[in-house]
Every structure is written in structure tokens, then in C-alpha cells.
Structure 1
Amino acid sequence: MSFKPNQPHGGPPAGAPPNMAASFNAMLQRSLQDQGPPEPAVEAPSNPPSAIGYGGVYNATPPPQFAAPNVLGGARGPAPQQILPVDLPPQAFLTSAMLLDMVDKKVDVLLRDEKEYIGILRSYDQFANLVLTECYERIAARNPEAIEDPTIPKWLICDVKLPGVMTIRGENVTICATVDLDREDSPKGVTVALEKDVRALAAAQKADKRDSDARKATALKKAGIEPGFGMQG
């Protein structure tokens, strides 16, 4: 096969029909027209498209993911806030939480053996063991003169100063209440008397109560009934 100089490079071979050259040129032009400029790269959207045709949780916005700022690849955002009860302090989960508001206040403590102490509550623990400072023991006795005259106060009291720090076991406490500082100087229904008179009167009344409880316990045992707490058998 011979090469002709006037034949274009890449054209149809020699001896081809005349219409084949026109078809080849038309095909070459069409191929050049189809190759347009390169399309720019499409960046991925920052927000993923919402689901189409689904309802409920499929269209809901996902919650933000929080991660530590030092973690590689972690999502950036504010740290999650810790949910804690705002109305209750940590001490509220203790059994003796009611004593929290009484700390550093003047309290009146009544024990199971009818002893009474007044002082400033300084500390306590989960067993309601109390620590009092500036403590006084209040001794009380019934006023025998009030039996005939109802206008006379029914109780005689005296306060005895106790040195040092007073520790009271929680299981012996019957009542613990704060003292009204505006009314403690003039309590109602009581009369302040001498310590020796109140002690002697209180001791005599306790002895009479023991004798009365012993007689009741004996009568209950004869009837086949077990006596109650504090009664002597």
C-alpha cells in the first residue's frame, strides 16, 4: 500500500468509497463536540439530606455527638452538662438529714430516761449521735403547789452548767428541737427554782413512780400479762 502526501493523516484508507470519507469526518466532528470542558468536582454536602418518604425518627435531626477535645477525630462542641438534683443537697440522702439545719443552733434534747440537755449542736453523724457545746442539763419536777392552785405553773426547773463537750448517743434521743431564742428567757408553764430543791423533788417523784410501776407490773403478771417497758417486776 502506497502513501499519498495529499491524504490527511488519520483519514479513511485509500480506495475507500467517497461517502465513507464524509462519514468519517462527520463522526470525528461529533466526537470532538461531545468532549466538553471537565465538570468541577462536587463537594459532599455538610448536612446529609433528610430521608424522603419516611416519617418519624427517619426525618428527625440526629443528636449532637460530644467528645473530648483531645480525642483525635472527636466532634467539637460544648461538653455535656452533668444532671444533678438541684433541690436536694448530698446530705439529704442520710437518715439524719433533718439535723442539717440545726447545726450551730441552740437545741433542746430529750432522752429516753427523761433527761433533758440544752446546748449548741456542733456536729452529728449518720447514726444521729450528737455533739453539744455550752451545754446545760435541765432538771424538772412537778410543782406540788399547782395541785391546789391551777394558776401556779405546774413545773419547777433549774439549769445546771456542764463543763466540756457533751456527746449524746443517737439511739437514746427521743426529741431534738431548736430553741426559740426570743422566748427562752420567759418560758410558759414553768418556774425557775433552786437546784437543790428541784433535785430533791425530782428524786422523790421518780421514787414514787418506780413504786407505782412495780405495783402495776405485779398486778399484770398475776393476770398473765407481761409488764411494759420501765415497769419493775
Structure 2
Amino acid sequence: MVALRDGRKLIGVLRSWDQFANLVLQDTVERIFVQKYYADIPRGIFIVRGENVLLLGEIDLDLDDVIPEPYEEAPIEEVHAMQKVEIEGRKKKDKAKDKKLKNYGFEGELGAEAIL
């Protein structure tokens, strides 16, 4: 399982890596969690640049298919739509917060919304 800086979670078989944490994943699935739903998007072979890796961990094969209690599988289209609404809401909230902070002299990093 690999968590990326942009919030995506990838699950796959680690086939190769190097000293910069560049990864090659096989049979990769991107798992999206929104509210109490999740969806798996098959991605196949996935190459991840090391600077985008936030967390890399091994999943116990016995627990691989167990999904945490509150989550239910839903169609990809529905989960994608809910994720889009959630991201837009978060952007609005962050924009208002940044505006308030700017009034007090604080200025955020450029391009910080990419990390969401």
C-alpha cells in the first residue's frame, strides 16, 4: 500500500524500487474513500516518483480483503462524484481560511492546493 502526497492510495505488488524511493507497482488498484463509501479503480502497472511517496507499507495478505467497518463498496462513478463535491468544499473552506490569515499577515505557500 502506498499513500501519495496528493491523497491517493495505491494498492499493488511492489516489483522494484531505487535509492530515491521511485517505485514500480504491478496489478495496482487505486482505492478512493469518501464519507462511508469506497471504490477500487484498476490501474495496472504504476510507476511512482519517489518525491510523491508519503507512506509505504506492507499489507497482511490475510487481512487484504477486509475493509474497515464503516465503509461500503459503491460504484466508481458515484464515489468519484462524491469525491469531487468534497474536494470543492474543502477548496472553498481553505480559500476562506487563507483570506482570513492573509488579513493577519500570513501568506500560504504557492500551489498548496495541489497537496489536497
TM-score above 0.5, yes or no: yes
- 1: CA distance, partners of 2:68 / 2:9: 17
| Number of the residue aligned with 2:24 | 131
Q: Is the 8 A contact 1:112 1:172 kept in 2?
A: yes
Does residue 122 (structure 1) correspond to residue 15 (structure 2)? The answer is yes
Instruction: Answer yes or no: is the 8 Å Cα contact 1:122–1:133 preserved in 2.
Output: yes
Q: TM-score scaled to structure 1, two decimals?
A: 0.46
Kindly provide the amino acid, as one letter, of the partner of residue 126 in structure 1: Q
Are 1:180 and 2:60 counterparts? yes
Aligned mates of 2:75, 2:113 — CA distance in 1: 30
Q: Which runs of 5+ in 1 are unaligned?
A: 1-107, 143-154
Cα distance 1:230–1:125, how it changes in 2: closer, same or farther (>3 A)?
same
Q: For this pair of structures, how many residues does the alignment match?
A: 112
Task: Give the aligned partner of residue 207 of structure 1.
Answer: 88
**1:182 to partner: Cα distance:** 1.2
Aligned residue for 1:214, secondary structure, equals helix
| C-alpha distance in 1 between matches for 2:99 and 2:38 | 33
**What's 1:227 paired with?**
108
**CA contact under 8 A between 1:157 and 1:193: conserved in structure 2?**
yes
Q: After the TM superposition, which residues 84-163 of structure 1 pair with which residues of structure 2 at under 5 Å, given as runs?
A: 108-142=1-35, 155-163=36-44
CA RMSD, 1 decimal = 1.7
One of 40, 48, 73 as aligned partner of 1:192: 73
Offset, 1:177 = 0.6
The AA in structure 2 aligned to 1:201 is: M
Instruction: For residue 162 of structure 1, give the secondary structure of its aligned residue in structure 2.
Output: strand
For the pair 1:217 / 2:92, whether they are aligned, the reply is no
Match of 1:89 in 2: none
Name the aligned partner's letter for residue 66 of structure 2.
S
Determine which structure has more spread, i.e. the larger CA radius of gyration. 1
Structure 2 distance, partners of 1:169, 1:220, is 33
| Distance (Å, rounded) in 2 between the aligned partners of 1:109 and 1:172 | 10
Percent of aligned positions with the same letter in both sequences?
Answer: 35
Q: State the AA in 1 paired with 2:74.
A: A
Contact 1:141–1:156, Cα closer than 8 Å, also in 2? yes
Which amino acid counterpart does residue 61 of structure 2 have in structure 1?
Answer: L
Q: Quick one: higher RCO (CA 8 Å, sep 6+), 1 or 2?
A: 2
Which residue type is aligned with residue 39 of structure 2?
Answer: C
Deviation at 1:231, TM superposition (A): 5.2
How far has the Cα of 1:112 moved from its partner? 0.6
Scaled by the length of structure 2, what TM-score is found? 0.89
Deviation of the 1:186 alpha carbon: 2.1
Which segments of structure 1 move beyond 6 Å, counting only runs of 4 or more?
Answer: none
Higher strand share: 2
Q: Which runs of 5+ in 2 are unaligned?
A: none
C-alpha displacement at 1:225, in angstroms? 1.1
